[in-house]
Amino acid sequence: MNKRTIITILAAVLVTVPGPLLAQRRGRNPLRGQGSGRIEMEQRVRATFERRLFADLGLTSGERSSVQGVMATFRQQRIDFALRERRTRERVQDLQARRADGKEIPEAEVRDALEAIAQLRQEEAQLFRDEQNALLQTLRPDQVLFFLQARDALADRIRRLRRGGGQDGGMMPRGGPPPGGFRPGGNWPPG
């Protein structure tokens, strides 16, 4: 190979490699799930989830509207929380990388990171309690329990979609609603 060919190859590598590597470092794989196709799929999964969940819970249109309002309010709060959690996780990973490189990390910086983690856990617990209380204004406790389990299953499914999988597994927790459903006379919770 001549010098010109080597320079051309090197320039091509320098132009094409950093973007994907930086995106992967930030937790995204640019080769997977790009474009509106993934977003549309997530929206379809969420819409199907809501339809099935509301049908399984046997909600009236008023109850459905109330629960949708709670979902919208807390969805934004969970998004904000996830962003703060991600920033803290990146901060901790940076500390770990510096430590692995043999660099000394000031104790105050480590204590700040530990405090940030503790604060996040408290915020997460409060967010969960607040959402649960808001749902209990419309739903019975057994319905709230099923709702929260179903939402966790939905979050798992969306994570699988984002990783490029997701064809397996349902959206409802372990076989859907309890026998007899959530209507009066249903046998939930068991026991």
Preceding omega of 189 cis (within 30 degrees of 0): yes
Same domain, 81 and 105: yes
Cβ–Cβ under 8 Å, residues 64 and 54: yes
> Above 80 in pLDDT, residue 133?
yes
Same domain, 83 and 114: yes
> Above 80 in pLDDT, residue 121?
yes
Same domain, 53 and 145: yes
Instruction: Give the confidence band of 89 by pLDDT, cuts at 50, 70, 90.
Output: very high
Structure pTM?
A: 0.61
Same domain, 134 and 162: no
15-26: pLDDT as tens digits:
333 333 334 444
**Domain membership flag for residue 186:** no
Count of domains observed in the chain: 2
Please, what is the end-to-end C-alpha distance for the chain in angstroms? 77
pLDDT over 70 percentage in the chain:
68
Question: What is the distance between the alpha carbons of residues 158 and 164, in angstroms, rounded to a whole number?
Answer: 10
Q: What are the structure tokens assigned to 106, written together?
A: 């000031």
Q: What are the structure tokens assigned to 163, written together?
A: 């990783």
CB count within 10 Å of CB 131 equals: 21
Same domain, 42 and 134: no
Same domain, 101 and 131: yes
Same domain, 55 and 103: no
Q: What residues make up the domain containing 119? A: 73-138
